[in-house]
Amino acid sequence: EKGGYRHFMLKEIYEQPRAIADTVASRVKDGHSDVYLEGLQLDDEQLRQFDRLYVVACGTSWHAGLTGKFLIEKLARVPVEVDIASEFRYRDPLVTDRTLIILISQSGETADTLAALREARGKGGKALAICNVVESSIARESDGVIYTHAGPEIGVASTKAFTTQLVALYLLALRLGRARGTLDAQRCIELTEALLTLPRKIEEVLELDEQIEAIAKTFMSASDFLYLGRGNQYPIALEGALKLKEISYIHAEGYPAGEMKHGPIALIDEQLPVVFLCPRNETLEKVVSNLEEVRARDGRVIAVVTEGQENLLGEVDALITVPDIIDELAPVLMSIPMQLLAYHVAVFKGTDVDQPRNLAKSVTVE
């Protein structure tokens, strides 16, 4: 049932082009000038009335939420707060009948996320679930649901569930933007067309597998890793660090690249690998200057960059080049090398990749 792959995690990494295509299929409509979310249960009038959105989740799903904030604030111009479920539920959150609470959960059974949903609905908020497991508790108890069509995810470390969550949030941001009048039809067409190219571009990144495996071999003995990104890549830095921690047991931290000089820079020496997420975007120059600061202190740099931009970086220890894509979708593409790097490091270390110690697929205790 691993379909010839050595681990479920690897199989699920490779399933992403298909999982994303399935999550998008049938949802792009009207010559691509809008999207249709069948379980949303919120009409345009309701979508216009919200004055604040909360995204609430745990772990990897929370990282997806952090990326969703960028998408929704940019395309729908409504304030979004992202919170960890176990924090949100205990602080008497400011929820009114004009608040939309988006719960993200692969399993749909995470205890803290379910409790946050109940807390928010109890205060009169509307709840929208983004779940992978059909008819799960969080999906059932919410007012509306967007299912990710990732298919069953067996590996404990989330991969295809995460990238399909990013796609679901992108679709939601488009729908909100259309309903609220902040996104015009032409721009929506451009954004949906870019989305339709995503599976093919992920396939191109998967072709880098062997190269990433070689990088993993070079760096597998490090005791710590630092992951840095700015803007919508900061959550991907967090996610890259989490993947590595979970399955290879190497300590790793994700940071916004601009925060490095406020503390983590003290960690940098010739032992420390620093993974830089540097896609082509408005902050690339700033990320490159952070990269130079690391190099000046003899840190070991692993950079992920958009093709054609490699020479902007100068010298690095390892370079991973991904295809160009619009900035709104770059987080999805950049996630793939993060998954493969963590996977190969773990395999070299000989850990139980699909069943890492101390972890459960679905966390039903608080």
Q: Which are the catalytic amino acids? A: 361
* The one among 46, 321, 355, 362 contacting ligand F6R by CB under 6 A: 362
Please classify residue 159 by burial: count the beta carbons closer than 10 Å to its beta carbon, then call 0-12 exposed, 13-18 middle and 19+ buried: buried
Q: 220 vs 363, which CB is nearer to ligand F6R?
A: 363
> Minimum distance between the CB of residue 363 and ligand F6R, rounded to whole angstroms?
5
* The one among 27, 50, 59, 260 contacting ligand F6R by CB under 6 A: 59
Kindly write out the interface string for residues 106-125 of this chain, putting x where it contacts ligand F6R by CB under 6 A and - elsewhere: xx--x--x------------
**Can residue 61 be called a binding residue for ligand F6R (CB under 6 A)?**
yes
* The one among 56, 82, 150, 157 contacting ligand F6R by CB under 6 A: 157
**Can residue 58 be called a binding residue for ligand F6R (CB under 6 A)?**
yes
Residues of this chain, 242-261, that bind ligand F6R according to CB under 6 A = 242, 246
Candidates 13-21, 26-34, 100-108, 330-338 — which segment interacts with ligand F6R by CB under 6 A?
A: 100-108
Q: Which of 270, 255, 285 is nearest to 222 (CA)?
A: 270
**Can residue 66 be called a binding residue for ligand F6R (CB under 6 A)?**
no
Whole-number Cα distances in Å, 115 to 86, 310, 364: 9, 46, 11
Measured between alpha carbons, how far is 349 from 347 in angstroms, rounded to an integer?
A: 5
**Can residue 363 be called a binding residue for ligand F6R (CB under 6 A)?**
yes
Measured between alpha carbons, how far is 240 from 222 in angstroms, rounded to an integer?
A: 15
Do the beta carbons of residue 120 and residue 93 sit within 8 Å?
A: yes
User: What is the DSSP code (8-state) at residue 145?
Assistant: E
Q: How many residues bind ligand F6R (CB under 6 A)?
A: 15
* CB-closest chain residue to ligand F6R: 59
State both tokens at 197: 């190219």
CB within 8 Å of 285: residues ≥ 6 apart: none
CB within 8 Å of 327: residues ≥ 6 apart: 232, 279, 280, 281, 282
User: What is the DSSP code (8-state) at residue 143?
Assistant: S
Q: 26 vs 364, which CB is nearer to ligand F6R?
A: 364
User: What is the DSSP code (8-state) at residue 136?
Assistant: -
Q: 211 vs 362, which CB is nearer to ligand F6R?
A: 362
Q: 113 vs 192, which CB is nearer to ligand F6R?
A: 113
Q: Where along the sequence are the contacts to ligand F6R (CB under 6 A)?
A: 58-61, 105-107, 110, 113, 157-158, 242, 246, 362-363
